[in-house]
Structures are given as structure tokens and as C-alpha cells.
Amino acid sequence: MQNLSRSIRKMKHTCKRTYLFFSLLLFSACTSKNKSDLQIIDNVQLQNTLLKVEVLASEMDVPWDLHYGEDNQLWVTEQGGTVWRIDVTTGERKQLLHINDVWRKRTAGLLGITLHPDFTTQPFVFVNYTLMRDSVIFSRLERYRFQNDTLVEPTTVLEIGGNTAHNGSRLTISPDKKIIWATGDAYTITNAQSDTCLNGKILRLNLDGTIPADNPNPKSYVWAKGFRNMQGLVYSDKGLLYTAEHGDAIEDEINHINKGANYGWPVIEGFHNLESEHVFAAKEHTVEPLYSWTPVVAPSGITFYVHTAIPEWKNSLLVGTLKTQSVRVLKLNDAGTAIVNEEVFFADRYGRIRDICAGKDGAVYISTSNRDWNPASGFPKQGDDRILKISATTKAIHPVLKGSSAGAVTKLNGEELYKQYCASCHKPDGTGVQGIFPALKGSAIVNGSSQELIDLLLKGRKGKDGSAMPAFSFLKDEEMRSLINYIRNSWGNKAASVNKEIIFQKRS
Ligand code: HEC
């Protein structure tokens, strides 16, 4: 570790940049507190195991990444720039550091954290955060030394391009002790397929920041390419690497990452099921996801569960989701190469789930994200954001909750389609989010010419400041008709209904 260069490794960046306007957000740091008995808020019955859900920490500000350390402490980043170390038995927490040059906006800020694989002898901590220099956003991998309950000696390992959106970013350490960094495409889709750009990639670095000689190209950090915006990253006990990734309007993905492979973005979304995708796949030998969600669930952190404490979850990927506000248990086959079952827990109960991690103690830890830029209706609630601890117990003190199987959604009416595809941005009551997602209630476009509205829905539109109206051309004519008529006749809107034929003509 000694010869890690003190200076920023200047990369030959050939990424394209999409420039965006920005404003600064203010945030406040939390205070630490002591607790001995954790409050039990729920019980869950699995097939044989009874679970309890306890509040490990509350009043936090978007705990972005949870890492269960060899020291049996939970290492936590808050988006605004604070690093905490939390005792998983008492919930006592210590603030280790506040990074002043963290630039927080929307999904940018202090993001991933991981520890050195030999932490007892080499007490180093790696974090990733966005910063702004001369009005340009960067995403930085920084190393600190843990000493006397604080983090010292900041040393930049690598800096890549950043943006207000699509910065990734999770960190982990591979079984062969390399740093794995899942980056986002920095909101510039041409980056993901570019071999000379480090955005939209899985990067692999030696612990001292140099490029491993056995990378696909020994002169490049790139381990795999073709990603949009990964939010989950984990190794299984078999040494298989998995990611969770946000799709655009459709096709969130769980991927199994192979050395040197291409995962297709922006040409391919989800499975290879379109003619254009088959053509690209044949040329580039792209890899299909293990799993894909449409409508999207917005998967965030993922973890691999291997402990015997909750046998029903053994050999599963556990996924926290933002949009569907749930924990999803994806059962893997024995080889870890396919997902054979999906079960959903805590739907709409705690709000958006930002990260999840399984401890050596057999417990599962989740963090909420209800103070972020896009909270669900009714959130944040008192006590948000929280870190919850899920573990096996013998006695229920609350009415028991159950998981539900994830059934495929079929034939939705206009209101249901709106809830599935539009409400996460424009809100269930059509009022939008000020300055980011326009209100559809009273909108001139919604109430105006059907031609313009259909055009917008088919093609989407890049908005200002890192936001975009996705294209919904994948909706069938009939679905688009009921959706359009729903928004043209809800929340006080009154506009003439459209028929399927207009949509068909517009498409062709
Ligand atoms: C990921 C967030 C997102 C989703 C999901 C989304 N939109 Fe949008 N929408 C936007 C953004 C951002 C804009 C503004 C684009 C711009 O600045 O031109 C927008 C603009 C619009 C407008 C124009 C409104 C106006 O008055 O300017 C309409 C109409 C609209 N969306 C309808 C829909 C419908 C219907 C759906 C669901 C099928 C949907 N949107 C899903 C983000 C979203």
C-alpha cells in the first residue's frame, strides 16, 4: 500500500460529457446516540423461520451504503458526506468522518464503501464520492486509514467523470483481493460501449490503485462494459460476481459478471428480444442478464445470503428496491447461474430501500432512502431514514407479516398503467416534483393536441438537469390509448379521448 501515488491518477479520459446545470443542496449531519435495547417493529413468518425487524439506527440522511466489517461493525456512508461505524448489537454509532468536498445533488454524493481485505493488519477504507472542480463533476475513489475512531490520510486512488445522474456506484473486494468498482454511464450513453472511457463499466484495480496485469487489457481498468447505472454489487460464496442495474423505462437487470464481457447498454436493454438487439448481440457477443424486471422495480443494493440462520434465504440474492419499496429474495440455482424464484417482502412498508447487507452474524441489514431527492408519497416519516436489522427469533410480538410471490402483471387499465410506469416521477396525483418532473395535472401538453402527446410518449425527451422523460414505445397501442385517456381525464384535466388508430398511425 505504501507506494500508492499521492497524486490523482490522471486518466486519459475520452468520455463524452453531458453538461448539466446544478444548484447546491444543504444538509445537516446527524448526532450520535447510545441505545442498548433495539426496538422491534415487525415480525415476519417464513416457511419455518420467524423473523424480527429491529430499528438499529434512525434519523439518518440517506444511508447509501452498508458494509458489514470483519470487526462486526456496520460501516455506513450517508449521501451528504458522513461516514459512520455502528455497533450491530447496541446501535451505538460513531461518526468517523465528514468529507467536506462531497458534492451532493439528486443521486450524486458520498456513495460506496468497502474495507481492505486484510483490515486487521491494513486498516484501510475505500469510499467513492462525487465532487465538483471548476464546475466539472468527478467521481472519486478515495482511500483512508482508520485510526482512533476516525479516518485519516485521504489518498485519491482514481478519479473518473461524474454527473448529476448515473454515477453508480458500489465497491467491493474480489476473492483475489482486487478492488471492484461498478460505475454509471455518467448520463451519457455513448460512454458505456467506449473502451477508453471508465464510465458504464465494472473496473478492477489492485489495492494500490494500479492496473492488474491479468485484466482483459493489461493497460486498462475495464473488467466488463456496457452498463447504464449499477446500484448493486456482490460476490457469492462461489466467487461469482453479481450486479443490479437500473433500466430506463423498462428492463431493470440482475447480471452475472464475466471477465471482458459486454452487457449491451445502450443498444441492448434486458434480454435479447428485439431484432436490433439480436444483430448487435451477434456482432459483440453480449451477455444476457440473469433476470430482468418490466415494469421496473428500481433495484438498489444487493447482497448474497449464505448463513444458516435464515435457511429459507440461503443461496439467494437479496435486493433492496427503491420504486417498489421492498426487499426481493431471488433464489439462485445451485450453480448460481440462474434465478429460480422471486419473493417480495415489506412492500410499501418502510419506504424506499437504498442498501442491504448480510452480516457474518446471520442478520440482514437494510437502509431506507426516504430523505433522498424523490421520496414516495407519505414519506419521509418520523425517524427516517432508518437502518433496520432483520434476524431470526422465537417469539412474535406483532401480527406476523408474510412475503408474497412476484406475479407477472397482465392487462392493466389506464390508472394501473399510470401507477406502474409514470407515478414514480409524476406522482400518483399528477402533481410531479417541482423543478424536476412537470405536473401532468393542468399540463398544456397533456390537455393539448393528442399528436404532440403521443409523440412525446413514443420518443421520450431529455429534460434539463439530468432528468429525462423516458420513451414508452414498448407499450401496446391499446395500453397507450387507455393511459393517455386516463391522464387526459384525471385530476381535473378534461381533454378529448384518443383512439388506437391515431397511435398506430403515429408509430408508422
Ligand atoms: C423517470 C421519470 C419519468 C417517468 C417514469 C415518466 N416521465 Fe414524463 N417527464 C419526465 C420529465 C423529466 C419530463 C420533462 C421533460 C422536459 O423537460 O422536456 C417529463 C415530461 C412529461 C410530459 C410533458 C409535461 C409538460 O407539461 O411539459 C408528459 C405529458 C409526460 N411526461 C407524461 C408521462 C407519462 C404518461 C408517463 C408514464 C407513461 C411518464 N411521463 C413517465 C420524467 C418522467
pTM of this prediction? 0.78
Q: For the chain, what are the domain ranges?
A: 41-405, 414-507
**What's domain 414-507's architecture?**
Orthogonal Bundle (1.10)
Q: Quick one: what percent of the chain has pLDDT higher than 70?
A: 92
pLDDT band per the 50, 70, 90 thresholds, residue 365 = very high
Q: Whose CA is nearest to atom 2 of ligand 1?
A: 425
Longest dimension (CA), the chain: 71
Among 126-140, 210-224, 273-287, 293-307, the least confident range: 273-287
Amino acid identity, position 474: F
What pLDDT is recorded for position 83? Answer: 98
How would DSSP label each residue in 207-218?
Answer: TTSPPPTTSSST
Taking residues 179-190, report their average pLDDT.
96
How would DSSP label each residue in 442-504?
Answer: T-HHHHS-HHHHHHHHHH-EE-STT-EE---TTS-HHHHHHHHHHHTTSTT-------HHHHH
Q: What pLDDT digit, counting tens, does each position of 38-62 carry?
A: 999 999 999 999 999 999 999 999 9
Q: Would the pLDDT of 283 be above 60? A: yes
Angstrom distance (rounded) from CA 182 to CA 373: 22
Q: What pLDDT digit, counting tens, does each position of 222-249 carry?
A: 999 999 999 999 999 999 999 999 998 8
What pLDDT is recorded for position 272? Answer: 85
Q: Would the pLDDT of 353 be above 80? A: yes
- Which of 425, 434, 486 to probe ligand 1 with, by most ligand atoms within 8 A of CB? 425
pLDDT band per the 50, 70, 90 thresholds, residue 27 = very low
R_g of the chain, CA atoms, integer Å = 23
Residue reference for cell 422523460: 469
Q: Would the pLDDT of 478 be above 70? A: yes
Q: Whose CA is nearest to atom 9 of ligand 1?
A: 469
Angstrom distance (rounded) from CA 46 to CA 401: 9
Give residue 417 CA to ligand 1 midpoint distance, Å: 14
Q: Whose CA is nearest to atom 8 of ligand 1?
A: 469
Q: Which of 157, 179, 196, 195 is nearest to 233 (CA)?
A: 179
| Residue-averaged pLDDT of the chain | 91
What pLDDT is recorded for position 222? Answer: 98
Q: Whose CA is nearest to atom 31 of ligand 1?
A: 469
What pLDDT is recorded for position 19? Answer: 52
Atom of ligand 1 nearest to the CA of 445: 26
Atom of ligand 1 nearest to the CA of 475: 38
pLDDT band per the 50, 70, 90 thresholds, residue 17 = low
Amino acid identity, position 26: L
pLDDT band per the 50, 70, 90 thresholds, residue 31 = very low
Look up the CATH superfamily of 41-405: TolB, C-terminal domain (2.120.10.30)
Give residue 190 CA to ligand 1 midpoint distance, Å: 23
Angstrom distance (rounded) from CA 376 to CA 396: 29
pLDDT band per the 50, 70, 90 thresholds, residue 21 = very low
Taking residues 284-294, report their average pLDDT.
92
Angstrom distance (rounded) from CA 450 to CA 503: 9
Q: What pLDDT digit, counting tens, does each position of 370-397 carry?
A: 999 999 999 999 999 999 999 999 999 9
- Which of 412, 416, 420, 426 to probe ligand 1 with, by most ligand atoms within 8 A of CB? 426
Give residue 367 CA to ligand 1 midpoint distance, Å: 29
Question: Which residue ranges have their beta carbon within 6 Å of ligand 1?
Answer: 421-422, 424-426, 437-438, 440, 443-446, 453, 456-457, 461, 463-464, 467-470, 472, 483, 487
What pLDDT is recorded for position 294? Answer: 87
Q: What is the DSSP letter of 43?
A: E
Q: Would the pLDDT of 163 be above 90? A: yes
Q: Would the pLDDT of 32 be above 80? A: no
- The neighbouring-strand residues paired with 469 are 461
Q: Would the pLDDT of 479 be above 60? A: yes
What pLDDT is recorded for position 10? Answer: 45
What pLDDT is recorded for position 411? Answer: 58
Q: What pLDDT digit, counting tens, does each position of 64-88 carry?
A: 999 999 999 999 999 999 999 999 9
Q: Would the pLDDT of 466 be above 80? A: no
Give the other-Cβ count within 10 Å of 489's Cβ. 16
